Chains A and B, each alone.
Chain A
Amino acid sequence: MLHIVACIKQVPDTKVIKLNPKTNTMDRTSAPAILNPYDAHAVEEAVRLKNKYGGIVSVLTMGPPPAVKAIRKCIEIGADEGYMISDRAFAGADTLATSYALTKALEKIQKDTPIDLIICGKMTIDGDTGQVGPGIARRLDMPPLTNVNKVVEVNKEEQFAIIHRKLEDGHEVIQTALPCLFSVEKEINEVPFSPLPHMIKAARYKPTIWAVSDLEDVDKTQLGLKGSPTIVSKVWPPEKPKGGEILDGSPQEKVEQILSMVLEKKELFQQHKEGV
């Protein structure tokens, strides 16, 4: 039986979030909390593999108590079980400390039911780093496969999987040993409208919640703010692109205007001295 764990996170919806104009940091209360959109695809992929090969899908998150909502969303998508680690000691964690804490939780899950595959979203929309997945894989000593945009086969008996990795100019086909970790692109699947029985199950669902004291062999210095070497030295908003120009007049006039503007940009027409 295949056991797939998806690591997920609740994030503020950055489509609507406001920035604090003084500190340039996100005002997290200004936006609703949602399941990180990439993670929805991770869970969906896990559910598809379960439907294809049989098995169970668990999801794991680290977060404050309201993050239970994100786990429920995963149950709606079709996950079977949800685990959450929640403790003040985890607060302020960077990607290093986060991957450490999640690894400790995965080890605990593993004791009950060995894990064959871990799937993460490509990155979170509030942090944008994409480092947690590979961090977990290193700590668990399994191959990390990033930018996965297609799973061709997962073979538990022979302990391998074949996937596609998205590259800038095509894709790479890889065969890997199990257990391993994928972090997946959005285009790997479409998350469908959940069936009603999943919605009802999710509405009732109570995930397993662990505090630090429930985990084993934890080095507390590696948790939370203490375990986070990342220093944010400066936060600034990206430069606003200069607004374009809207041309007036008849189509004929507009074409003339744009041609003369293009022709004025001499640098576009300079001959390349060397190279291609």
Chain B
Amino acid sequence: MGEKFDVIIVGAGPAGTACAYTLAKSGVSVLLVERGEYPGSKNVMGGVLYRKMMEDVIPEFYKEAPIERQIVEQRFMMLDEQSAVTFSYKGMEWDQEPFNNFTVLRAKFDQWFANKAVEQGAVLVNETVVESCIVEDGKVVGIRTDRPDGEVYADVVVLADGVNSLLAKSLGFHKEFRPDEVALAVMEVLKLDKKIIEDRFSLEGNQGCTFEIFGDSTKGILGTAWLYTNKSSINIGVGAMLSGLIKHKIKPYQLLDYVKNHPILRKYIQGVEQQEYLAHLIPEGGFHSMPQIVGDGVLVVGDAAQLVNAIHREGSNMAMTSGVLAAETIMAAKEREDYSTATLDSYRVNLLNSFVGKDLKKYKDATHHFEKFPHYFEKYIPMMNKAAGQMLTIDGTPKKDKQKKIWKEMGTAGQKFSMAKDAIKAWRVMK
């Protein structure tokens, strides 16, 4: 029989590693199993890492972690074919410790983070795929890997294996996700000289900025494009609901090509050298899609539990918080030597009471709403851009006449009424 640990964690992403770190630090014996060549080797993220939740795990991590830039400006762009309305916030308070958030490259960051867990005593095994959980009398007691003599045992198994968790699925915790519960994202890392990045985006030193781009960037499909600055590269990507991509018969890389060649955006990535091309799923079903996350001897954390706030592109932070909460529940269970569903259920309760549960509940209908009514993206953004363009074009038309014209172009009284209704509906799902 294989060795026995207190806890086995499957997947060394932010969720699994945060859990491993927290447990190992308290002296719990932890085996962290990762299928990649090293943690992060295949992991993908637009690149914004939130300081607060990471600091809950390792205070002042930014002093030594491989971060790219501290974000001082966030731009939001409403894009049409030939125009953009941009809203931006730039704040120098974000340029000082403790900072707000950072851009990171996951291949580097995850590796560093996992090493921190190893320093605390976690045992990290790479290049090993967990194929299934070992279940005895309805209780999860270990894992089976793809290696010879590949079985190991534990009191608790934590599934942190990311979006579309095959392990949670094989335990019957969830079904295959529907195309309207996941977004498909593609991203490129483009190499560019540090100095050019700083000049092009008005940055000094280690400052960074982010663009979130809505509307024409996804050809009206629910989703976004983004452009983030790293030290000497730029991440540019597009993600859109799988259902929308299927309906519009568009491939994600076609969207990315479109964004890269868009007349308003192409200048930002002029002269780059392509370094990496990545594709990944994002769980965007939100609260309604959350699977069962607790069982006898087993917990599910991070993307595997669908913990992503699509509206605010938050995922890694929710992953970390869930990992920490799972660790705390396991430590309490260890004291009582009881790893039953009833005891482990405090993880689910604590998660729902944390910002993770609260935010997921708040936005529980948002993606579904926008998914159901694509005209928010298809119609209203172009309309708004046109109005802004008309107001700002000085051609001798009095402003009052301009407003009249814009108002008229917004359609008949009935159309305006339904627009107002849409606005209220949107407010309701977002408020």
Contacts and interface: CB of A to CB of B under 8 A. Distances in A.
Interface in B131-179: 145, 147-152
Nearest to B148: A195
B123 A204 contact: yes
Contact of A203 (B2, B124, B147): B124
Interface in A189-230: 192-197, 199-200, 203-204
A196 B1 CA distance: 12
Instruction: Pick the most buried of B2, B125, B152: most chain A CB atoms within 10 A of its CB.
Output: B125
Top 9 nearest A-B pairs by Cβ distance? Answer: A195-B148, A196-B147, A195-B149, A196-B150, A199-B125, A203-B123, A203-B125, A196-B149, A197-B149
Interface residues of A, number: 10
A195 B127 CA distance: 11
Contacts of B2: 196-197
B147 A194 contact: yes
A203 B122 CA distance: 9
Contacts of B319: none
B380 to A, nearest CB: 48
A195 B149 CA distance: 6
A94 B146 CA distance: 41
Interface residues of B, number: 16
A203 B3 CA distance: 14
Given A193-B148, A194-B148, A200-B152, 6 more contacts: A194-B147, A196-B148, A199-B127, A199-B147, A200-B3, A203-B124
Contact of A195 (B31, B118, B124, B150): B150
Contacts of B118: 203
Interface of A: 192-197, 199-200, 203-204
A203 B8 CA distance: 14
Contacts of A193: 147-148
B128 interface: yes
Contacts of A200: 3, 31, 123, 125, 152
A16 B229 CA distance: 26
A204 B148 CA distance: 19
Contacts of B150: 195-196
Q: Which among A192, A195, A196, A197 has the highest number of chain B CB atoms within 10 Å?
A: A196
Contacts of A194: 147-148
Contacts of B147: 193-196, 199
Nearest to B123: A203
Nearest to B144: A196
A196 B123 contact: no
Contacts of B31: 200
A200 B127 CA distance: 12
Interface string B375-414: 0000000000000000000000000000000000000000
B320 to A, nearest CB: 23
Nearest to B128: A199
Contacts of B123: 200, 203-204
A196 B128 contact: yes
B153 to A, nearest CB: 12
Contacts of A192: 148
26 contacts: A192-B148, A193-B147, A193-B148, A195-B147, A195-B148, A195-B149, A195-B150, A196-B2, A196-B128, A196-B147, A196-B148, A196-B149, A196-B150, A197-B2, A197-B3, A197-B149, A199-B125, A199-B127, A199-B128, A199-B147, A200-B3, A200-B31, A203-B123, A203-B124, A203-B125, A204-B123
A6 to B, nearest CB: 21
B427 to A, nearest CB: 50
B162 to A, nearest CB: 21
Contacts of B148: 192-196
A197 B128 CA distance: 12
B124 A196 contact: no
B205 to A, nearest CB: 23
B40 to A, nearest CB: 13
Interface string B44-70: 000000000000000000000000000
A203 B150 CA distance: 15
A179 to B, nearest CB: 32
Contacts of A199: 125, 127-128, 147
Residue among A194, A200, A204 facing the most chain B CB atoms (10 A cut-off): A200
A203 to B, nearest CB: 5
B36 to A, nearest CB: 13
Contacts of B3: 197, 200
Contacts of B145: 196
A220 to B, nearest CB: 34
A26 B55 CA distance: 38
A197 B148 CA distance: 9
Contacts of A197: 2-3, 149
Contacts of B128: 196, 199
A198 to B, nearest CB: 9
A199 B150 CA distance: 10
A46 B150 CA distance: 23
A50 to B, nearest CB: 17
Contacts of A203: 118, 123-125
Nearest to B124: A203
A193 B3 CA distance: 19
A204 B31 CA distance: 10
A192 B147 CA distance: 10
Contacts of B151: 196
A204 B124 CA distance: 8
A193 B150 CA distance: 11
Contacts of B127: 199
Contacts of A196: 2, 125, 128, 145, 147-152
Contacts of A195: 147-150
B254 to A, nearest CB: 30
A194 B31 CA distance: 17
Give the most central of A195, A197, A199, A203: most B CB within 10 Å: A199
A72 to B, nearest CB: 10
A192 B146 CA distance: 13
Which of B2, B118, B127, B148 has the most chain A CB within a 10 Å cutoff? B148
A199 B127 CA distance: 9
A200 B128 CA distance: 11
A195 B145 CA distance: 10
Nearest to B125: A199
A196 B125 CA distance: 9
A193 B145 CA distance: 12
A195 B128 CA distance: 10
